[in-house]
Chains A and B, each alone.
Chain A
Amino acid sequence: MRRHKNTLIALGLVLIAIVLQTTLFNQVRPFAIAPALVLLTVIACARYLEPEAALMVGFTAGIVSDLVGGSSLGLWAITMTVVAFATVKLRHYEVGGVLVVAAGIFGLTFAGQLLYAIVGTLFGQGTISRPDLWKQLLFPALWNVVLAAPIFWVSTLTMRRDERRWAL
């Protein structure tokens, strides 16, 4: 029951992140590039979910992002599933401290977006040939490190740290 409750909370947080990503960050775009808020929310929630639930939340977040985005359906679903899986596998390093967490968020966001660019190119989106690709990968990753504190605080508050179960 608790597990399902956390999954529902995670889906609610993802929905809020998608609304904020498409409205707030439609207007607030430092250097013309927005943070990857949905990706960050998936990372934040995957820390506290059962591995299977984390994967399902990642996939669902990706599908909804694809539906409201302009690219082919399934590309963000693949990306966010991989990011959720990587988070589940790496989350036990969180005890290493703030710097480890920051590096993890930066790395997961950067790698997730690079994966999206590669998969997007395979499906004809032309993402990897963009002249400012490095900006598209780097800036959201930096943004996400900055936004991690409030997002992690909200996810911890709503999903309660004491219920966390690590991967076996």
Chain B
Amino acid sequence: MFPTGRRFDRVTALFMSLLAAGFVIATFDVRTAETGIADTMRGGAATLLAPIQRGADLVISPVVSFFDGISNLAGLSDENLRLQEQVRGLELRLRETSALERKVEELEAINDLAPPLELASVSARVYSSGASSFDHVKYILKGIDDGIAIGQAVIDERGLIGRVDAVTASTARVRLLTDPVVSVGVRVQQTNETGVVTGLGTATLRLDMFDATTPVTRGSVVVTDGSRFPPGIVVGYVTESADAEVNFVLQTGVETAARFSKIDYVKVIVGWSPLDAEVELEPTLIEPPSFVNPAGDPQ
């Protein structure tokens, strides 16, 4: 095919061969997703690189934190005043909440309601991310040995982060909500209607509601619907009000509750499977927190 044997031809032949190999590997990987040798190789690579990445992370994290601290010094004074104001507000709310809690306890006792199920979870540290800005994955330092399995929901203190999509004995890969290949079944709390959010590569997700009959308003809380993840986990907040039109898909944006740029620790929910959905209680109504700024910059 390349009979001349000249240097240029050898290089071009190798180039074409490598391109062909790349396309064959990619096709093979796509066609054998989650069952093929590619995932075994990924697991092997993660296992081999994890100790090096952990070591690098241990060295890098304090240095990055130090420089972060220096860069934040200028803003600390204003931040301090703002926090003092916030503490006063929270103290007031705490007193109100305590009164409400007593009321709820009384009501629960009256109605003989069981408290919401406490789902078992495993805390994990994020030690690495994907190899490019196009990758929406994080690696955590917990794996099969800690009860982690593919498909489990991953959350932080604000809401849903993503799901476990690959796991080794001691590490796991979390595919983030923002990945365009991730879709999650959700429910808009204010209307109680369901839809699907899909990642767009940014902090804003796309919400599609196929059978919506009532409009959604900006700031509405969007939670998981319990089809794949435990119900009631906050996914985000509607960024734009949208009307439901008959026979048309209601489409709008959802700002993620989780801050993907600052994920250090996460929790993996290990004590739930979709089969549990039928026995779950109706989740309680969640109010949008004060930090929500649906029209603001990506977090």
Q: Which residues from chain A contact B133 at a C-beta distance below 8 Å? A: 33-34, 36, 136, 139-140
Please determine whether A26 and B18 come into contact, CB atoms closer than 8 angstroms.
Answer: no
Q: Known A23-B56, A67-B41; judge A78-B10 contact (CB<8 A).
A: no
- Besides A73-B41, A127-B201, 5 other CB < 8 A contacts? A24-B64, A59-B22, A67-B42, A72-B29, A81-B15
A77 to B10 CA separation, bound complex (whole angstroms):
19
Docked-complex contact B131 and A27, CB < 8 angstroms: no
The residue on A at minimum CB distance from B129 is A26
In the complex the two chains form, is A62's CB within 8 Å of B22's CB? yes
A residues whose Cβ falls under 8 Å from a Cβ of B? 18-29, 32-34, 36, 38, 51-52, 55-56, 58-59, 62-78, 81-82, 85, 88, 113, 116-117, 119-120, 123-127, 129-133, 136, 139-140, 167-168
Asked if residues B180 and A73 are in contact (CB atoms below 8 Å), the reply is no
Main DSSP-derived SS at the B contact region: helix
Is the beta-carbon distance between A23 and B29 smaller than 8 angstroms?
Answer: no
CA distance A70 to B163 in the complex (A): 13
Q: Which 5 A-B pairs have the closest CB atoms?
A: A126-B180, A74-B26, A74-B25, A130-B201, A70-B137
Q: Give the interface size bracket for B toward A.
A: 35 or more
The main secondary structure of chain A at its interface with chain B is helix
Q: Mark B44-68, 1 if CB is under 8 A from A, else 0.
A: 0110010011001100110010000
Closest to A33 in B: B133
State whether the Cβ of B11 lies closer than 8 Å to any Cβ in chain A: yes
Asked if B38 lies at the interface with its beta carbon under 8 angstroms from chain A, I say yes
A92 to chain B, nearest CB (A): 14
